[in-house]
Structure 1
Amino acid sequence: MTTDTTNSSRTRGILALAVLALPTLLVAVDISVLAVALPTMGRELHASATELLWMTDSYNFMVAGAMLTTGAIADRIGRRRMILVCAAIFAIASGIGAFATTPELVIAARGVMGLAGSAILPASMALLGGLFTDEKSRIQAMGAMMTVFLGGMAIAPFVGGLLLAHFWWGSVFLMGVPVMAVTIAVVPRLIPESKADVPAPLDLASAALSVFAVLSLVFALKRAVNSGFDSSVLVALVAGVVLGTVFLRRQATLAHPLMDLGLLARPRVRRTLAALFLTALLMGGTSLLFNLYLQEVQGLSPLDAAWWMLPMMVSMIAAANLGPWLNRRLAQRTVVVSMMSVMTIGFALYVVAPASAAGRPVVATGASLATFGIGAAFPMLMDGVMSSAPPERAASSASLAQLSNELGIALGLTVLGSLGTVVYRARLGLPGSTAEQSVIDGIREGQHDPALLASVKTSFTDAFHVAGLVGVAVMGVVLVLAARATRETPAPSVVESQHTELEELAA
């Protein structure tokens, strides 16, 4: 009887994990699938370049901006209920976007989809914490969820291309409707409700401050990458800092704050969030330079460059499962520090990549090692934040960890992108020339000037080397943070490692 009960409980947990993965997969696909459809949408909707940019950014902005608020709401009204409500909103907005006749309607639909998506991710992570109470099983479940998320982002261009080959552009939106319909039908049958025992009232002023503070900061960072540092960037940056400061001060005075500042006072949480932020900063910034290196310095087409990027995606997906598996057999500190060391080696390879064709396998290997390292460590780092929070704030803590990643990526694009530009221009040494503006302009100008073309490629490669050096230096800080954050995590026993739910599933 006990064995039957255990098997039934395990099966139910696995099915619940699969159900939670459905909306997570769709949210991941929607982050990048629109890029494939944008050219077609631009032609058929007569959209301007600015409108096309907002079609993409409205989704990403709302995912980042609303995450703290939607996570807090999920803790109060119930995480399962939050997923059901937001799945319905996502499906309706997807349908509206699919049949939109103006760019403005698409932008609005994408914004609403992003708002719903911002709630689904942290609520799902919080529910996992309740379904898998054993730390090892919980971390492996998070690894499985991360695998689904990364897999969704990896297949998005292929899914989008397949749909566009047979249907109209709205099909990339419409695929969300059946997925969310299945979620609404199945989630109540498999997943119990989970929320704070005594739900605290939601402070609307704090919610508004958090949304507009994060939106302003993310807008400023993304605008700086796309258009340079102008007056709109300065205004948004100042607004974000001011609103964020007011938000934090308000949390310190409330009996039931939207964000528990006491969580940040815990050394493990503080160090883990810092490690997540810094690794996201490096991954976001170097990914921009990595793409430019492949397409501009190496002269690869977008499709050829994608093939050189494929090992990176495969390694990250594999690592998301390997990390939790190692965590069952080794001390968590050993696993995390080892994986962060692998990530450091990846950035070190960027430092030695040549401008010649021999650089392609070097940077591909470097990117694979970097993504492998963070992919393996991320489930443990994520659990380090969530397990430190009280149960009534599970979704809020998951939102905080996810927000650290979002802000890190956005800041990395700005900081390392700007640093790369400064180094490129200094090494090129042609002030006032068209080639100085960017490596793209330099490659274009050098098509009929072999000497200039070689100089442009060498100068940008030097900039890539500097970004790699920054990566190695910052990873030194991350290694210290990760080691101190996980030093109190005990090593699992052999018996414990042989009797866990998800390991038996893998077998």
Structure 2
Amino acid sequence: MTTLTTTRQRSPRLALALLALPSLLIAIDISVLGVALPRMSADLRPSPTELLWMNDIYGFMVGGTMITMGAVGDRIGRRRLIVICATVFAIASAVAAFSTAPWMIIATRAVMGLAGAAIMPASMALIGQIFPDPKARISAMGAYMTCFLGGMAVAPLIGGVMLQYWWWGSVFLLGVPVMVLTVLAAPRLLPESEAQPGTPLDLRSAALCLVSILSLVAALKWAVNGAELWRTVGLAVIGLVLGVVFVRRQHTLEHPLVDLSLLKQPGVARAMWVLFLTALLMGGTSIFAGFYLQSVRGLEPLKAAFCLIPSTIAMIAASNLGPWLGHRFAPKHVVLGGLLVMVAGFVPFAFLPVGGAGIGLAIVGSVLTTAGIGAAFPFLMNDIISHAPQERAGSAASLAQTANEIGIATGLVILGSLATVVYRARLSVSDGSWVDGFEEAAGRADSVLLGHVQTAFVDGYRAVGAFGVVLMAVIVVLYVVPRRAKA
């Protein structure tokens, strides 16, 4: 039986604002390192391996521990977990700011990733508790997502300003006041939820989950970076085998780490698949826009960044417009509309020219795809969280967000590989990527070679766009057909 205790909860809106603050910071922390990394590298002089770990460890820890931390929140109380992890995040951020060696950055970023993995699912579960009305809950999730996306959007700008006037460690200090405010205000504004006292946390399941997800994500990253095939396949096999063991174990435990019976609830498995597949497409196509705008269309990095701003604005606007439409239309129709907008968004990518109106088409495609998922995402998350028992809402939220993380990593491999195959076929080469091609053409100052590389890259981008249209059509069918069959 679930026990709910509310301590001086003044306003649901104030509670939502407090939950959104850490999400804003976590989003900034995901993106800001890319701005600070060159300065950090010059100062700390990491090896190539250390540099990779400095960049990747945060995401690894978020993806690998989110399911476990969601279960921890369900057991010890989500508000309590947010307070603990906000404290840990603040301390780790302060230590990272004054790091004197690469290993210190790696260690503190790992701790920050662990804390971030706990805060996000606990926050999503508390939103479901604070806003019991489905329409109000969906609107709150849209607002929460807006803060997260806003953080992603402003991170490069904030990082650039801070590096202009201070040292690279200042970007980590951003987290300290926000997390201190969260620690102080949470007991006053947030309700507490606590599962049955003494519910055990299966550490063996936690270890299986961590190693399985880290192995799969690492294998996907290795595949993108062109590592030896046997290493990539071997690591992927290890991750899959451990994942199967983890799933089988959950079915045998009285108190599983994650309740997989949730997937048997009407609409939950479908929502999970939609989240995974749309994340696959959005993550996979994210690597192409920058190359197209800069290496094909010849824009300076700042101008290329400005071209990507409309898609961020569209996603933020849609994440609020979708819930607003949900007050006037059936939620399933809003989600279906968002998915159809995404279908339309991949069409321009399938017809991108090397020159001419390519920039406009790229912007239109990005705006439509991000707006579509922005409108649908709050409803999909609500489909999952609302079907979970209140005492396991954190586990449900973490399961959905983990599917999203793995979808992004999988998309980078699948769509990156598809574009690479088309690129090589167009140039009649057996190895190398468009990155190598652009670098070689620039090094030789060979305009003819550059033209061939640009054409081959755009052909690969078109193939990705066509794949996106087809897969989105499948996603639409996946979402619609079971409802019709049930009717």
Q: Which TM-score applies when normalising by structure 2?
A: 0.95
Partners in 2 of 1:251 and 1:350 — Cα distance?
42
**Is the Cα–Cα contact under 8 Å of residues 142 and 379 in structure 1 kept in the other structure?**
yes
Q: Which residue of 1 aligns with 2:439?
A: 444
Q: Which residue of 2 aligns with 1:465?
A: 462
* Unaligned runs of at least 5 residues, structure 1: 1-8, 491-507
Q: Which residue of 2 aligns with 1:221?
A: 220
Q: Which residue of 1 aligns with 2:350?
A: 351
- Would you say 1:474 and 2:471 are equivalent positions? yes
- Would you say 1:483 and 2:480 are equivalent positions? yes
The code of the aligned residue for 1:472 comes to: V
Aligned in 2, Cα 1:341/1:156: closer, same or farther, shift over 3 Å?
same
Report the alpha carbon displacement of residue 11 of structure 1 after superposing the two structures with TM: 6.4
Partners in 2 of 1:466 and 1:190 — Cα distance?
50
Report the alpha carbon displacement of residue 326 of structure 1 after superposing the two structures with TM: 0.3
Partners in 1 of 2:289 and 2:347 — Cα distance?
13
Partners in 2 of 1:294 and 1:484 — Cα distance?
38
1:193 aligned counterpart, secondary structure: strand
Matches for 1:371-382 after TM superposition, within 5 Å: 371-382=370-381
Q: Which residue of 2 aligns with 1:132?
A: 131
- Would you say 1:80 and 2:79 are equivalent positions? yes
Report the alpha carbon displacement of residue 46 of structure 1 after superposing the two structures with TM: 1.1
Partners in 1 of 2:227 and 2:289 — Cα distance?
20
Matches for 1:230-241 after TM superposition, within 5 Å: 230-241=229-240
Fraction of identical pairs, as percent: 55
- Would you say 1:146 and 2:172 are equivalent positions? no
Deviations 1:90-111 (A, max 9, x none): 1111111111100011000000
Matches for 1:423-434 after TM superposition, within 5 Å: 423-429=422-428, 431=429
Matches for 1:183-198 after TM superposition, within 5 Å: 183-197=182-196
| Deviation >4 Å, runs of 4+ | 484-490
The code of the aligned residue for 2:479 comes to: A
Q: Which residue of 2 aligns with 1:321?
A: 320
Partners in 2 of 1:198 and 1:133 — Cα distance?
24
**Is the Cα–Cα contact under 8 Å of residues 332 and 489 in structure 1 kept in the other structure?**
no
Q: Which residue of 2 aligns with 1:289?
A: 288
Report the alpha carbon displacement of residue 166 of structure 1 after superposing the two structures with TM: 1.3
Aligned in 2, Cα 1:57/1:445: closer, same or farther, shift over 3 Å?
closer
Aligned in 2, Cα 1:249/1:309: closer, same or farther, shift over 3 Å?
same
Report the alpha carbon displacement of residue 302 of structure 1 after superposing the two structures with TM: 2.1
Aligned in 2, Cα 1:401/1:488: closer, same or farther, shift over 3 Å?
farther
In terms of mean alpha carbon deviation, does 461-470 or 292-301 score higher? 292-301
Aligned in 2, Cα 1:204/1:38: closer, same or farther, shift over 3 Å?
same
The code of the aligned residue for 1:180 comes to: M
**Is the Cα–Cα contact under 8 Å of residues 285 and 464 in structure 2 kept in the other structure?**
yes
**Is the Cα–Cα contact under 8 Å of residues 272 and 485 in structure 1 kept in the other structure?**
no
Report the alpha carbon displacement of residue 427 of structure 1 after superposing the two structures with TM: 1.1
**Is the Cα–Cα contact under 8 Å of residues 9 and 15 in structure 2 kept in the other structure?**
no
**Is the Cα–Cα contact under 8 Å of residues 332 and 486 in structure 1 kept in the other structure?**
no
Q: Which residue of 2 aligns with 1:203?
A: 202
Partners in 1 of 2:266 and 2:467 — Cα distance?
25
Aligned in 2, Cα 1:98/1:486: closer, same or farther, shift over 3 Å?
farther
Report the alpha carbon displacement of residue 136 of structure 1 after superposing the two structures with TM: 0.1
Matches for 1:29-40 after TM superposition, within 5 Å: 29-40=28-39
Report the alpha carbon displacement of residue 50 of structure 1 after superposing the two structures with TM: 2.4
Report the alpha carbon displacement of residue 353 of structure 1 after superposing the two structures with TM: 1.1
In terms of mean alpha carbon deviation, does 118-127 or 282-291 score higher? 282-291
**Is the Cα–Cα contact under 8 Å of residues 44 and 102 in structure 2 kept in the other structure?**
yes
Q: Which residue of 2 aligns with 1:342?
A: 341
Report the alpha carbon displacement of residue 185 of structure 1 after superposing the two structures with TM: 0.2
The code of the aligned residue for 2:142 comes to: G
In terms of mean alpha carbon deviation, does 11-20 or 417-426 score higher? 11-20
Report the alpha carbon displacement of residue 229 of structure 1 after superposing the two structures with TM: 4.5
Matches for 1:40-119 after TM superposition, within 5 Å: 40-119=39-118
Deviations 1:334-370 (A, max 9, x none): 1111110001100011011101042011011101100
Matched length: 478
Partners in 1 of 2:156 and 2:449 — Cα distance?
35
1:23 aligned counterpart, secondary structure: helix
Aligned in 2, Cα 1:76/1:484: closer, same or farther, shift over 3 Å?
farther
Partners in 2 of 1:118 and 1:169 — Cα distance?
24
The code of the aligned residue for 2:477 comes to: V
In terms of mean alpha carbon deviation, does 249-258 or 232-241 score higher? 232-241
**Is the Cα–Cα contact under 8 Å of residues 9 and 188 in structure 2 kept in the other structure?**
no
The code of the aligned residue for 2:157 comes to: F
Aligned in 2, Cα 1:380/1:485: closer, same or farther, shift over 3 Å?
farther
- Would you say 1:456 and 2:459 are equivalent positions? no
**Is the Cα–Cα contact under 8 Å of residues 96 and 109 in structure 2 kept in the other structure?**
yes
Partners in 1 of 2:45 and 2:483 — Cα distance?
53
Report the alpha carbon displacement of residue 454 of structure 1 after superposing the two structures with TM: 1.9
**Is the Cα–Cα contact under 8 Å of residues 349 and 468 in structure 1 kept in the other structure?**
yes
Q: Which residue of 2 aligns with 1:259?
A: 258
> Aligned Cα RMSD in Å?
1.8
**Is the Cα–Cα contact under 8 Å of residues 139 and 324 in structure 1 kept in the other structure?**
yes
Partners in 1 of 2:411 and 2:396 — Cα distance?
23
**Is the Cα–Cα contact under 8 Å of residues 77 and 199 in structure 1 kept in the other structure?**
no
Report the alpha carbon displacement of residue 443 of structure 1 after superposing the two structures with TM: 2.6
The code of the aligned residue for 1:296 comes to: S
Report the alpha carbon displacement of residue 222 of structure 1 after superposing the two structures with TM: 1.4
Deviations 1:9-43 (A, max 9, x none): 99600000011111111111101111100000000
**Is the Cα–Cα contact under 8 Å of residues 59 and 113 in structure 1 kept in the other structure?**
yes
Q: Which residue of 1 aligns with 2:5?
A: none
Partners in 2 of 1:470 and 1:404 — Cα distance?
20
Partners in 2 of 1:259 and 1:266 — Cα distance?
14
Q: Which residue of 2 aligns with 1:411?
A: 410
Aligned in 2, Cα 1:374/1:67: closer, same or farther, shift over 3 Å?
same
Report the alpha carbon displacement of residue 480 of structure 1 after superposing the two structures with TM: 1.9
Q: Which TM-score applies when normalising by structure 1?
A: 0.91
1:280 aligned counterpart, secondary structure: helix
**Is the Cα–Cα contact under 8 Å of residues 164 and 171 in structure 1 kept in the other structure?**
yes
Report the alpha carbon displacement of residue 227 of structure 1 after superposing the two structures with TM: 3.3
1:227 aligned counterpart, secondary structure: coil
Aligned in 2, Cα 1:341/1:155: closer, same or farther, shift over 3 Å?
same
The code of the aligned residue for 1:474 comes to: L
Report the alpha carbon displacement of residue 296 of structure 1 after superposing the two structures with TM: 1.6
The code of the aligned residue for 1:463 comes to: G
Partners in 1 of 2:76 and 2:363 — Cα distance?
45
**Is the Cα–Cα contact under 8 Å of residues 94 and 172 in structure 2 kept in the other structure?**
yes
1:67 aligned counterpart, secondary structure: helix
The code of the aligned residue for 2:418 comes to: L
Q: Which residue of 1 aligns with 2:3?
A: none
Partners in 1 of 2:234 and 2:388 — Cα distance?
35
